[in-house]
Amino acid sequence: MAVTGVIFVGYVFVHMIGNLKVFSGPEAFNGYAQWLREVGYPLIPHRGVLWALRVLLVVSVLAHVWASLVLWARGRRARGPHRRRRMPTLLATGARTMLPGGVLILVFVGVHLLDLTIGRLVTPESFRSGDAYQNLVASFSRPWMAIFYAAIMLVIAAHIVHGSRTLLQDLGATGQRLRMVWVVVGVLVALAILLGNALIPVLVQMGVVT
């Protein structure tokens, strides 16, 4: 659970940094998208690194979901008819939202791929193969997609914050000072992903990114 979570968060964080190139204009953003397709070429086949990252992400997400379901089932069996009492409200809320939040993130991954990678959720004239900037602006020009994307970034941020609290325990590191430092790191990473990604559809809707 912890290892696959780290892989997922690392991918999302790096992806967010790449997304920020949209603020440098179409040439910079499309250049970044083209670089992803060609990185390592000709030593590595065209789009080889990109597909390797996609496979790694899919495997990590599936393993993460499987681990979460196993842990949830174990927890239900272990507690029987009883529920934990006196759990801090913030921790309790975070724990209860992890499973439904994970389902929402899975739905978002599918929508995101269909929308910006395959182009099935936009009109044919709006999707241009190889023009990542145009496709992004066309997608986020729809208010419902902009709201959905920004809302999912909030879900992902909450998922990361709660996950960071349990990560070190899952890996066997129980030092109180280390745990506090790691929680702060998790919160900062979550905020960076939230603000960095959610700002894009907001600025598209405001007409700043066109």
Range of the domain at 78: 2-206
Q: What are residue 88's phi and psi, to 5 degrees?
A: -50, 140
3-state secondary structure of 107: helix
Condensed to tens digits (0 to 9), the pLDDT of residues 94-104 reads 667 788 888 89
Residue 161's nearest CA partner among 192, 196, 197 is 192
Q: Pick 108 or 121 by higher pLDDT.
A: 108
Counted domains in the chain: 1
- How sure is the predictor about 90, in pLDDT bands with cuts at 50, 70 and 90? low
Q: Pick 81 or 205 by higher pLDDT.
A: 205
Alpha carbons 91 and 136: distance in angstroms, whole number: 36
pTM equals 0.86
Alpha carbons 76 and 200: distance in angstroms, whole number: 40
Q: What is the model's pLDDT at position 155?
A: 93
Give the CATH number for residue 105. Answer: 1.20.1300
Contact 157, 194 (CB under 8 A): yes
Alpha carbons 160 and 164: distance in angstroms, whole number: 6
Least-confidence region, from 8-17, 30-39, 93-102, 152-161: 93-102
Give the mean pLDDT of the chain.
Answer: 87
Condensed to tens digits (0 to 9), the pLDDT of residues 152-189 reads 999 999 999 888 888 877 777 777 888 888 889 999 99
Residues 6+ apart with CB under 8 A from 199: none
CA angle 36, 197, 204 (to 5 degrees): 100
Q: What is the model's pLDDT at position 92?
A: 56
Residue 202's nearest CA partner among 137, 115, 128 is 137
Share of the chain above pLDDT 70, in %: 92
Alpha carbons 63 and 160: distance in angstroms, whole number: 17
Contact 209, 153 (CB under 8 A): no
